Amino acid sequence: MDTTAHVVIVGAGHAGGTAAGLLRQYGFDGRITLVGDEGELPYQRPPLSKAWLKAEVDVDALYLRPASFYEQNEIQLHLDEKAVRIDPRRRRLHLSGDKTLAYDSLILATGARARRLQMAHGDSEGIVYLRDMRHAAALKDRLAGARRMAVLGGGYVGLEVAATARQLGVDVLVIEREPRLLARVASAPVSDFVLGLHQREGVQFRFRASVSVLESRQGRLAALVLDDGERIACDLLLVGIGAVPNDELAREAGLDCEQGIVVDATSRTSHPHIYAIGDVTRRRASENELAPRIESVSNALDQARQVASAMAGRTVPAAETPWFWSDQYATKLQSVGLPRPTDTTIVRPSASGSGLAVLHLRDNVLRAAETVNSARDFLLARRAIASGCVVDPRALASEDAPLSALLS
Ligand X SMILES: Cc1cc2nc3c(=O)[nH]c(=O)nc-3n(C[C@H](O)[C@H](O)[C@H](O)COP(=O)(O)OP(=O)(O)OC[C@H]3O[C@@H](n4cnc5c(N)ncnc54)[C@H](O)[C@@H]3O)c2cc1C
The crossing angle, in degrees rounded to 10, of helices 14-25 and 297-311 is 40
Site membership for ligand X, residue 325 (CB under 6 A): yes
The rounded distance, in Å, linking the Cα atoms of 305 and 319 is 9
Distance CA 173, CA 130 (A): 17
278 touching ligand X, by CB under 6 A: yes
Phi, psi of 135 (to 5 degrees): -60, -45
Residues 300-319 that bind ligand X (CB under 6 A): 300
Question: Based on CB atoms, which residue is closest to ligand X, 84 or 222?
Answer: 84
Considering only 127, 130, 146, 190, the residue that binds ligand X (CB under 6 A) is: 130
Residue 365 main-chain phi, psi, to 5 deg: -115, 135
| End-to-end Cα separation, the chain, in angstroms | 42
Stretch that binds ligand X, among 29-37, 255-263, 309-317, 346-354 (CB under 6 A): 29-37
* Of 111, 126, 154, 339, the one binding ligand X by CB under 6 A: 111
Determine the residue type at 373: N
Identify the DSSP state of 235.
S
37 contacts ligand X (rule: CB under 6 A): yes
Q: Which residue lies nearest ligand X, judged by its C-beta?
A: 13
CA 286, CA 62: separation in Å to the nearest integer? Answer: 36
Which residue's CB is nearer to ligand X, number 247 or number 343? 247
What residue type is assigned to position 121 of the chain?
H
382 makes contact with ligand X (CB under 6 A)? no
Task: State the nearest-atom distance from the C-beta of 266 to ligand X, in Å.
Answer: 17
Q: Binding of ligand X at residue 157 (CB under 6 A)?
A: yes
In 3-state terms the chain splits into helix, strand, coil percentages (rounded to 5) of 30, 30, 40
Side-chain-side CA neighbours of 91 within 13 Å: the count stands at 16
Binding residues with ligand X: total (CB under 6 A): 36
- As measured in angstroms, the least distance from the Cβ of 15 to ligand X is 3
Q: Which residues contact 127 (CB under 8 A, 6 or more apart)?
A: 117, 214, 221, 237, 239
Site for ligand X in 59-88 (CB under 6 A): 82-83
Q: Is 158 in the site for ligand X (CB under 6 A)?
A: no
Give the burial string for 326-338 (b: 16+ CB within 10 Å, else e).
bbbeebbbbbbbb
Q: How far apart are CB 178 and ligand X at their closest, in Å?
A: 20
Among 279, 302, 370, 377, binds ligand X (CB under 6 A): 279
Residue 295 engages ligand X in binding (rule: CB under 6 A) = yes
Residues that bind ligand X (CB under 6 A): 10-16, 35-38, 45-46, 48-49, 82-83, 109-111, 130-131, 157, 246, 249, 278-280, 295-298, 300, 324-326
